[in-house]
């Protein structure tokens, strides 16, 4: 589709640089923090950062699929909350229920929510931002009416389930490894599979995507369904981490996830970015939060840092995009005569 090979390669390189950029920032941040406070790289601390990042990185995978196709899923926090409660509550309802069944239940709840979001957005052609803003309220409301004033307490959960978040090798929890594999698979799918590539095509130019025959409605629907299912899964993991689940679980996560995705290099209007980048974005946010704490900076600085980071990241992206457009325009002129 590109007129010549080189601009394509240039674009690829720039976006890969963007991902490496996040990793460099992350490494610099860790290095500086460790220099000041050596205990920052302690096993316990690494585990804490990773566990925290795991949930957001997982949510960011689903969100990336939606955002690259120029949509947005604001309901992930509510889906996570609903799934966390319903799935962990199963342990109290059904004695001796196998843990995989609980995971499937969480996945199923998320999938149903995602299918509703996707069906309304894709087939009724209503902006996804508005639909998921509405379902954010609705799903949270359902969550609250199911729970009432109650909560699931950690002691009602089987030890095997709570261990999901605590078992680790050299400070890296098993669940983080599993999630890392899932994210790698998701990144590969988006990069290399036809239906994955088509999400980028839809996000970068919907009209062109339609003209080349991409089934836009079906792809967008699938992206939302996947995002919902992933949020449902994240809910079960959330429950195993925190143990105590009430109706506020996951409140406000949607905006943190969007922040992580954008900091990780996914363009907010679609068409570019990767799930791996988004996961690193989530890891960076989580690292910063813990690092501030380790450095003795008041945790009050954390949101300001996140906000500043987001603004810097998109400013940088904008700068790169403008430069890139200039370079490519020059190249085109050179090639034309």
Partner 1 sequence: MNLEPMAAASAVVAPPSGAEPPAPPPASGVGEPQPSGTGVAHFSRLRGLARWEIALFATFVVVFVVGRVLSPEFLTNYNFFNMGLSNGELAIMALPMTLIVVTGEIDLSVSSTLGLASSLLGLLWMHGWPMPAIIVVVLICGAFLGAFNGFLVTRVGLPSIAVTIGTMLLYAGIAEIVLGSNIVSNFPAAYTNLGVYGVPGIGLSYSTVIFFGLAIVFGVVLHFTPFGRSLFAMGANQEAAIFSGLRVKRTKTILYIVSGIVCSGAGILYTFRLSTAEYDNGTGLVLSVVAIVLLGGVSIFGGKGSMVGVVFAVLIYSGLLDALLLTGFPQQASGIVIGGLLLLSVLVPSVPEFRSRLRAGRHRLRRQTSQAAIVHSGSVGQSRATGDDSSKAGLGGPPI
The correct pick among 93, 194, 300, 336 for binding partner 1 (CB under 8 A) is 300
Alpha helices in 148-274 (DSSP H): 159-163, 174-192, 194-204, 206-211, 216-242, 253-263
The SS3 assignment for 169 reads: strand
C-alpha 167, offset from chain centre:
23
Contact (CB, 8 A) for 174 and 168: yes
Smallest gap from Cβ 62 to partner 1, in A, equals 15
Q: Which stretch binds partner 1 (CB under 8 A): 12-20, 36-44, 155-163, 206-214?
A: 206-214
Query: Which residue, 84 or 202, is less far from partner 1 as judged by CB?
Result: 202
Site string for partner 1, 305-334 (x = CB under 8 A): xxxxxxx--xx--x--xx--x---------
Query: Which residue, 110 or 271, is less far from partner 1 as judged by CB?
Result: 271
Look at residues 93, 91, 112 and name the one whose alpha carbon lies nearest to residue 239: 91
Smallest gap from Cβ 251 to partner 1, in A, equals 8
**Subset of residues 106 to 165 that bind partner 1, contact rule: CB under 8 A:** 120-122, 124-131, 133-138, 140-142, 144-145, 148
Paired residues of 172 in beta bridges: 169
Smallest gap from Cβ 264 to partner 1, in A, equals 13
Q: Count the site residues for partner 1 by CB under 8 A.
A: 71
d(CA 297, CA 315): 26
182 Cβ neighbours under 8 A, 6+ residues apart: 58, 61
Contact (CB, 8 A) for 324 and 95: no
The correct pick among 35, 194, 207, 333 for binding partner 1 (CB under 8 A) is 207
Contact (CB, 8 A) for 62 and 183: no
Look at residues 219, 217, 189, 226 and name the one whose alpha carbon lies nearest to residue 76: 226
**Subset of residues 56 to 115 that bind partner 1, contact rule: CB under 8 A:** 69-72, 74
Smallest gap from Cβ 84 to partner 1, in A, equals 16
User: Tokens for 100?
Assistant: 């995989």
Query: Which residue, 114 or 128, is less far from partner 1 as judged by CB?
Result: 128
Smallest gap from Cβ 217 to partner 1, in A, equals 5
Query: Which residue, 31 or 255, is less far from partner 1 as judged by CB?
Result: 255
Query: Which residue, 121 or 274, is less far from partner 1 as judged by CB?
Result: 121
Query: Which residue, 101 or 325, is less far from partner 1 as judged by CB?
Result: 325
Residue 271 backbone class (left: φ over 0; alpha: ψ -120 to 50; beta: rest): left
Q: Which stretch binds partner 1 (CB under 8 A): 5-13, 80-88, 213-221, 235-243?
A: 213-221
The correct pick among 211, 334, 336, 337 for binding partner 1 (CB under 8 A) is 211
d(CA 171, CA 39): 13
- Other CB atoms within 10 Å distance of the CB of residue 140: 21
Angle at 252 between CA 249 and CA 256, to 5 degrees: 115
With binding defined as CB under 8 A, does residue 45 bind partner 1?
A: no
Smallest gap from Cβ 301 to partner 1, in A, equals 6
Smallest gap from Cβ 226 to partner 1, in A, equals 17
Q: Which stretch binds partner 1 (CB under 8 A): 104-112, 152-160, 188-196, 199-207?
A: 199-207
């Amino acid at each position: 589709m590109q007129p010549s090979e080189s601009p394509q390669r240039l674009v690829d390189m720039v976006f890969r640089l963007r991902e490496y950029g996040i990793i460099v920032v992350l490494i610099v941040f860790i290095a500086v923090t460790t220099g000041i406070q050596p205990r920052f790289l302690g096993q316990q601390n690494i585990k804490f950062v990773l566990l925290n990042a795991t949930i957001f990185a997982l949510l960011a995978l689903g969100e990336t699929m939606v955002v690259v196709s120029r949509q947005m899923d604001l309901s992930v926090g509510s889906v996570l909350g609903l799934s966390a409660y319903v799935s962990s509550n199963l342990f109290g309802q059904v004695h001796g229920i196998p843990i995989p069944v609980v995971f499937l239940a969480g996945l199923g709840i998320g999938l149903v929510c995602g299918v509703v979001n996707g069906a309304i957005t894709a087939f009724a052609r209503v902006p996804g931002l508005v639909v998921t803003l509405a379902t954010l309220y609705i799903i949270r409301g359902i969550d609250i009416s199911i729970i009432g004033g109650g909560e699931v307490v950690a002691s009602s959960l089987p030890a095997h389930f709570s261990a999901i978040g605590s078992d680790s090798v050299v400070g890296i929890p098993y669940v983080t490894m599993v999630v890392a594999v899932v994210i790698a698979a998701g990144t590969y799918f988006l990069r290399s599979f036809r239906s994955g590539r088509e999400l980028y095509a839809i996000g970068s130019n919907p009209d062109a995507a339609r003209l080349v025959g991409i089934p836009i409605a079906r792809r967008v629907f699938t992206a939302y369904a996947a995002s919902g299912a992933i949020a449902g899964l994240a809910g079960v993991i959330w429950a195993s981490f925190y143990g105590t689940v009430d109706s506020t679980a996951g409140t406000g996560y949607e905006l943190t996830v969007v922040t992580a995705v954008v900091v990780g290099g996914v363009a907010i209007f679609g068409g570019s970015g990767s799930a791996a980048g988004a996961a690193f974005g989530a890891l960076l946010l989580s690292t910063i939060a813990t690092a501030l704490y380790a450095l003795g900076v008041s945790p009050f600085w954390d949101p300001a840092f996140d906000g500043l980071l987001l603004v810097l990241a998109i400013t940088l992206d904008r700068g790169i995009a403008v430069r890139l457009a200039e370079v490519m325009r020059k190249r085109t002129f050179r090639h034309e005569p």
